[in-house]
Structure 1
Amino acid sequence: MSAHRPVLLYFYPGLSSFVVKDLQIMEKAYEVRHIGFLPAKKWQTPLIWLKQFFFLLRHIWTAQKLVCMFAGYHSWFPALFGKIAQKPVLIVAGGTDCVSFPSIGYGCFAKPILGKFTRWSYQLASYIAPVHEKLVRQEYKYQPNDFPYQGFRFHCPGLKTPHTVVYNGYDASFWRPGATVHRQPKSFLTVCAGLHMRFTQRLKGIDLILEAARQLPEASFTIVGAPAGFAFPNQPVNVKLLPKMPLADLKAVYSAHTFYLQLSMSEGFPNALSESMLCGCVPIVSNVSSMPEIVGGAGFVLEKRESGLLIELLQKAMDSDTSFLGEMARQNIANHYPEARREEELLQLLQRL
């Protein structure tokens, strides 16, 4: 019997923290050979595809199975090669590959060509592992400008590929409240990449946060992820911008704030929300996808995308028992979404393929 571990091919559109975490999980049971799909400019996409094509030609015959993080352009060749070579292909559905928001041009299914490649990938795959059941199919009521339903089964009618939900997982021993940090009362925090783009500001609800800050001068608002020298036009004095920072520094920032805001129009299973809850922040989220379930009774849900409703909700939050809710928020994530659970369920699923 060979001592060699079975070979697994792993494909992803970017080396984000959850991609790295899944890579580490799979390396416990497999020899993982991986390749990113990272064109710096759109015109480079065919060159990256060519590189992926030759990677697959080289490795497909020795591989036992293939895994793609998200569906999209980068998952089509792996799904096709897997079908031809009769090797199982698992797609981890994470969020943007399950939705369409034409009003802001967001989501794989909002773009006709990308939508086709995403749909074909799901059809060719052996199995889909969404990070939350709301990514399969969900009713959507947060704002009225797009589809009344979202999810990959809504956007891929007749899709026969089976799925199993495997939740994200978090390390409660790393993400914990700082012992020496003083938590500022009436302090609100959000973390947002691409903050300088109007599209991102709307997608992530930053415009709502700025409006709330103008109306609530007694509160403070911190936004992490600002490029150097960036400021909003007419930025309220109670809004502070911080640059993107390493995870170890982020832990201290979470621990210094009372509330965490995630007011996105679309989300999968947001990491920053879960990390902040483990650090004792009281969550305030939009009524979108997995977030109301993640929060449970430990925070507040904005039912509609309206600044007036948000201001009322933030006032209610500031009057709440924040130490009790913060502890409950931590327990919600630690108990329901531990890292060990994702590891066990993901490896079990791969073993069954």
Structure 2
Amino acid sequence: MEQQYEVRHQGFLPKKKWQTPLVWLGQVLFLLRHIWQADALICMFAGYHSFLPALFGKLASKPCLIVAGGTDCVAFPSIGYGVFANALLGRFARWSYQMAAHIAPVHEKLVWQDYTYQPNDFPHQGFRFHCPGLKTPHTVIYNGYDASFWKPDAAVVRQPNTFLTVCAGLDMRFTQRLKGLDLMLEVAARMPEATFTIVGAPDGFRFPNQPANVKLLPKMPLADLKLVYSAHTFYMQLSLSEGFPNALSESMLCGCVPVVSGVGGMPVIIGDSGFVLEKQDTVLLEHLLKDALRSNSPKLAENARQQIALRYREERREKELHLLLQQLLKRS
């Protein structure tokens, strides 16, 4: 945005729930100070934080664009995940979407999708499923990545039979279920011939009964993460819900063969360069991973990099976002 516009930004990060009204007050002051000079308002995700920008934009006749990224499009009550799994938060998200001038989801599966990966929640997901009757128009603008930065490191030797995943907050049971780490750990115990690495572990953390072939690494800067991607053959993303996961795309650019759950945009994102787990089932996953180990992984790795480098370029996202903003400003 800063390539063409002056950007004034305000975070919405209460450390405790009771601090939310105080953060809202700060947001009101920020909006009152800047909205009259603004051409447009942009929110990443919908929720409590997008309500006042959408409302102020409506009152001041300034277009508000909401970039829908994932959690603001779904509800998984079985694990308490998703904006629409919380009645109050979901209401604020619906109001935000209704008052916004436009919505820019990062993948069409966040608009509407049939959900069949596991049977414990809604059979459909997407903001149009959870906001019936929503009239606000939308334009899908995919995430974009810098293939000149995310590339295999020539100095690193890629290890065979290695699976990798990156996960923040992996010490929480909720996160383990959301990101499919429970499946990964169960299957790892059955596959001693492979090594499974998880990045993002807090100091001193270990899983109960952690298999010997599961390695934990701490959260790390991007440059180090690129080295870790380059050292592994496969990247696993077995989440219950995803929109357009960055780590998956970064790892593919670094030559990892993707293994993903059949949710959100992931099967489309990886194309024919990897493997899809259609159901949340450890037996199916074990068979899938053994198929992956028997595959022509160098050829798939080349396909994986090209899939992201050609279809999901950073320049494409920049161009499409700027074009959408120009169109919104012309209509306002």
Length-normalised TM-score, structure 1: 0.93
Structure 1 counterpart of 2:229, from 231, 248, 254: 254
The residue identity in structure 2 corresponding to 1:129 is A
1:151-174 CA deviation, whole Å, 9 max, x = no partner?
000000000000000000000000
Q: Deviations over 1:12-54 (max 9, x none)?
A: xxxxxxxxxxxxxx00011000000000111100000000001
Out of 7, 10, 21, the position equivalent to 1:46 is 21
Match of 1:86 among 35, 46, 61: 61
Q: Given the alignment of the two structures, is residue 193 of structure 1 paired with residue 174 of structure 2, yes or no?
A: no
Q: CA deviation at 1:86?
A: 0.4
Q: Residue 179 of structure 1 aligns with which residue?
A: 154
Q: 2:123 and 2:141 mapped to 1: Cα distance?
A: 25
Q: Deviations over 1:187-239 (max 9, x none)?
A: 00000000000000000000000011100001000000000000000100000
Secondary structure of the 2:168 match is: coil
Residue in structure 2 matched with residue 318 of structure 1 by the alignment:
293
Residue 209 of structure 1 pairs with residue 180 of structure 2: no
**TM-superposed deviation, 1:277:** 0.1
**Corresponding residue for 1:286?**
261
Distance 2:299 2:160 in 1: 14
2:75 aligned with 1:133? no
Is 1:56 aligned to residue 31 of structure 2?
yes
Q: Where do residues 267-306 of structure 1 align in structure 2 (5 Å cutoff)? A: 267-306=242-281
- In 2, distance between residues paired with 1:63 and 1:210? 49
Show the counterpart of 2:140.
165
Residue 10 (structure 1) aligns with: none
Inter-partner Cα distance in structure 2 for 1:34 and 1:97: 20
Counterpart of 1:154 in structure 2 is 129
**Aligned Cα RMSD in Å?**
0.3
What amino acid does structure 2 have at the position aligned with 1:132?
H
* 1:170 partner SS: coil
Percent identity, please: 74
CA distance in 2, matches of 1:119, 1:246: 36
Aligned to 1:221: 196
Aligned amino acid, residue 341 of structure 1: R
SS of 1:240 mapped into structure 2: strand
Deviations 1:88-125 (A, max 9, x none): 00000000000000000000000000000000000000
* Residue number among 220, 245, 254 corresponding to 2:220 in the alignment: 245
The amino acid that maps onto 1:88 is P
**Within-5 A mapping of 1:99-110:** 99-110=74-85
Alignment-derived partner of residue 143 in structure 1: 118
CA distance, structure 2, for counterparts of residue 115 and residue 53 of structure 1: 21
Cα distance in 1 between the residues matched to 2:114 and 2:210: 35
Q: Which AA in structure 2 matches 1:33?
A: R
Q: Distance in 1 between matches of 2:220 and 2:28?
A: 35
- How far, CA to CA, are the matches of 1:295 and 1:211 in structure 2? 24
Distance 1:173 1:212 in 2: 35
Instruction: Give the counterpart letter for 1:41 in structure 2.
Output: K
The AA in structure 2 aligned to 1:238 is: N
TM-score by length of 2: 0.99
Gaps of 5+ in 1: 1-25
Q: How big is the shift at 1:180?
A: 1.2
Unaligned runs of 5+ in 2: none
Q: AA paired with 1:324?
A: K
- Tell me the secondary structure at the aligned position of residue 31 of structure 2: helix
Number of paired residues? 328
DSSP 3-state at the match of 1:301? strand
Give the counterpart letter for 1:286 in structure 2: S
